[in-house]
Each structure stands twice: as structure tokens, then as C-alpha cells.
A and B are shown apart, each in its own frame.
Chain A
Amino acid sequence: MNPTPAPRPYPESGRAIPEGRETALAGGGAGAEDVALVRAMADGDERALGALYDRWNAVVHGVVARVLRGPDDVEEVVEETFWQAWRQASRFDPARGAVQTWLLTIARSRALDRVRALRRRRETPLEGDDGEVVVQQIAPGDPGVDAESSERGRIVAAALAELPAEQREALELGYYGGLSQSEIAERTGQPLGTVKTRMRLAMQKLRSRLQVLRSEGGGAP
């Protein structure tokens, strides 16, 4: 966890980060900077959008590419993610989670919209997708990603890695593949009841492991 820095201007704008806006969920230092950027976006400062993009474009791109599984539409979806963040900046509530989580939720949602629209057009399930699920670790020292968010990513990746493979598969086919439980059952050849149980267990274990890992590692609350 980074120590909370003194108020400082964000890149290109010269605007000071408001004091006293840190929250536990925003995670202090880097989180407070993100929150200040989103507040400035809500006030109509496009430079804040540019600064937020500089900080998070690689992370957003990572999630979008993971969901889309190919280069098509990636650029549009990344842009739409940040555009939605701009338009909805006034709705962001730091008490409900970090800016990073909010951005990634938008990114996943927009990417899944695209995947589902494509699937409906093709009327075939996930063309060219073999359903393989690989849990990847966050690469150390990625540019633009601060130590705190890397730590949070590491904790979640570790918790996912501890899940039995079949449970992780059910969870990730739903989460990244945008598949319903019936579609996952069809894809994996497993009975629907089995898929439901696996998904449920996966979420329960993930929830519990995240709590344990955070208390051990002192990650974000």
C-alpha cells in the first residue's frame, strides 16, 4: 500500500487533487488520485479524462482483449469504455468501490455487449473459440499500473488460481465468455446442474479466499 501523498497536480492539467476525498475503498494514494480525476471529469474537464486514460488504458485493454479474444472491435470498445466513464462520471461513488473496478466493470460490460451482438448475428456460439480458460498472472512492472493495483490484481489472480480447474472454467466462461449456465453446459458437455454447482462453489471460494488473502497480504480492503 502506498502512503497517501500530498495533494499534487494531475498530469497536463495543473489542477490540485482535492484533499479529504480519500476513502478506505479508494485505497488512499493512487485511489484518491483516480477519484479526483473522475470528479474533475464530472465537472467537464476533458484533460482529466486524458489523464485517467493514460493511467488505465493498458488495464482496460487487457480486459477488453480477454473478452473479445481477437483484435476486432478492441479499439472501439476501449474508446467506448472511457467515453461511458466520461458520461457517467457524476454517478461514480467511491464508497462502492475503486475507480479501477468501476472502469473494468464498464469495460467487461461493453465488451460482452459486443460479443453477444456478434454471436446473435452469427447465430453460432463463439466462433473460433475453443473455450480454453487460462488464468494469467499480472506481469510485474507494467507501465502505467501502480504497485497498489498490481497487488490487488495479484491477490485476485492468486485466489482464482486456487480454484479447482473445472470450477474456474465455469466461472470464467460466464465472466469473460458472457455465456449463460445453459450455454456453458452445452459447451462443456456437462449437465446443467453440475455447471450451476461449480459456478456457485467457485464464487463462494473466491469470496472466501479474497477475504483471507487480503487479511494476510494487507491488500485493498
Chain B
Amino acid sequence: MSDGMTHEAASEALEALALDALDASEREGVMAHVAGCAECQRELAALESVASEIALAAPPLPMAPAQRDRIKARLVARAAADRADAEQAFADVRAKASPDVTPLRTSRRGMGAANWMAMAAGLVAIMGVGGYMRASREQTALRTSLQEAQAERGAGLAAMDSLRTTLEDRDRMIANLTGAQVAVMTLASPSPTPSTGRMFWDQAHDAWTLVAHRVPMPKSGRTYQLWLMTPTAKINAGTFMPKPNGEVMMRATMAMPTDSLAAVAVTEEPMGGSPQPTTAPMMVARL
């Protein structure tokens, strides 16, 4: 879900959307919801199928013979010209990449441009004019689809931006966990708390990701605070609360010289955090 429109409101507008009768302002919100809702996508597809059949009820209306034949003659001529263009393009591709001009050779360093051309010619020959035409049509169709998608800017872009942001965020997180310069520290908790955790320090990006399990909820009015400790200072890295199931995923950004970190610790503090730790660590990793 990436917008302010509720599922209920969006689902009530799907019939009008299928008929292309939604007002532009409402359409954007509904489309943004549908982009992220599988149930609405299925329902919309079913309704669009119903809408597409309405035209079947329109009675056929024979045209005057002269008009009917005129249109047909123009269409067939346009299509023949279109096919001729495709055949010419097909011939051009084959001629440019004729194997007797650019003999196919293999090289330890890989295929040269000429060889790629020869290979392309081979592919084109296998496809034939029809296949080439279909491929070029599909390319045109894809371009058209792209233009249509671009035309759906409002909702589509909003939904895409949201997905892209999520994806980029996930990519960043994965990089922060698995990069070449990521140091991993295991946090242990003094008994009796069963919490465990790991700190991933992505030194290339100054990114800190704490992943912890079985972390109990702090007492009322209290929160957890993460500390990065050097021999001379305890640096506040932010506060966090566990999820109801005890899982923690906390991220912070902070530059620190590689050799100055002595320990990572988590303490329980008053809500809002403290300038310095006021309790014993409930989890700690010492280097």
C-alpha cells in the first residue's frame, strides 16, 4: 500500500475504473492502490473482461459498399507497404552482416564486432522475414506499452517510486549486511535474558545494522539505546523498541575509525534516551 486510499474505497471504484469512467483525480489514487493490491488487480481484470464485452451488444452496421471497399483498399495497401519496409530492413541487416564479408572467427579474447554481426545475420536468417517482422513489431509494441505506461504518470509513478524506494532500501540493507568491508559482531546478553543479536558494521558506508532476537519489551516509559564504545567515549547511536515478537532491526549511520571501536552495547534508558548509559548493558559485544 502506497497511498492514502483505503482498500474499501479503492475496491468500490473498480467498476468505474474498468469502464474508464473515473474522474482523473480519483483515478490516480485508485491506480496507486491497485498497483500494490493483488486482490484488487484480480477484481479489476475480471471487471475489465465484463466491460470489454459490452460492445458485443452494439448491432453490426454494414457500411455502404463504396466506403467499405475504400477503407479495405487503403488498409491492405498500408499493410503491404509496412511489410515491404520490414523486408527491406531485413535485407539490410543480412547484407550488412554477410558472412562472406566478415568471416566468422573465434578469438581467445572474445568475439569481435564483425563476428557479432555475422551471428546476428545468422539469427535473422533463421527468423525469416515473418519472424523479423514479428520481432520488430514486438519491439514497437513494447515501445507503445512504455509510452502508455508513461502516460499513466500520476498513479503509476507514485506506485513505482514507492516500490523503487523500497527496493533501493532493501538493496542498501543487503549491501550493509553482506559487503566486502562489513565487520560482524555477536552481541551476548548476560543471563537471565535470552536475547541474542548481531551488529553488522559496513565500514565502506559508515552504516550500522543491529539485528536482534528475543528482546523483551522494556519497562513502561523506557526504551533501548545503542552505544558504540571507544576506549575514551560511549557514543549514542540511537534508541529503538523491539517488535511485539521480540525482533529488532535497527539501522544507524555513523563514521568511526576502523581501529577505534572497543565494544557495542545496548542499555535500557528513559524514553528519549540518555546522554550516557545509566544502566548495565543488557546486550554487549566486546572486540
Residues of A within 8 A of B (CB): 41-47, 49-50, 53-54, 57-59, 61-63, 65-66, 75, 78-79, 82-83, 86-91, 97, 100-101, 104-105, 107-108, 112, 135-139, 142-145, 149, 152-153, 156-157, 160, 171-172, 174-175, 178-182, 184, 196, 199-200, 202-204, 206-207, 210
Contact = CB atoms under 8 A, between A and B. Distances in A.
A90 B60 contact: no
Contacts of B83: 44-46
A97 B52 contact: yes
Nearest to B50: A207
A200 B15 contact: yes
Given A43-B131, A53-B71, A87-B141, 6 more contacts: A44-B133, A101-B53, A105-B55, A142-B60, A171-B19, A199-B15
Contact of B54 (A89, A144, A160, A182): A160
Residue among A79, A153, A180 with most chain B CB within 10 A: A180
B113 interface: no
Contacts, number: 181
A203 B82 CA distance: 40
B80 to A, nearest CB: 5
Given A91-B138, A97-B52, A200-B16, A138 B75 contact: no
Contact of A61 (B50, B60, B144): B60
Interface residues of B, number: 52
B137 interface: yes
Interface string B126-139: 00011101100110
Contacts of B47: 203, 207
B24 A200 contact: no
Given A53-B71, A53-B72, A136-B58, A174 B19 contact: yes
B76 interface: yes
B134 A100 contact: no
B79 A46 contact: yes
Interface stretch (B62-70, B93-101, B234-242, B269-277): B62-70
A172 B58 CA distance: 11
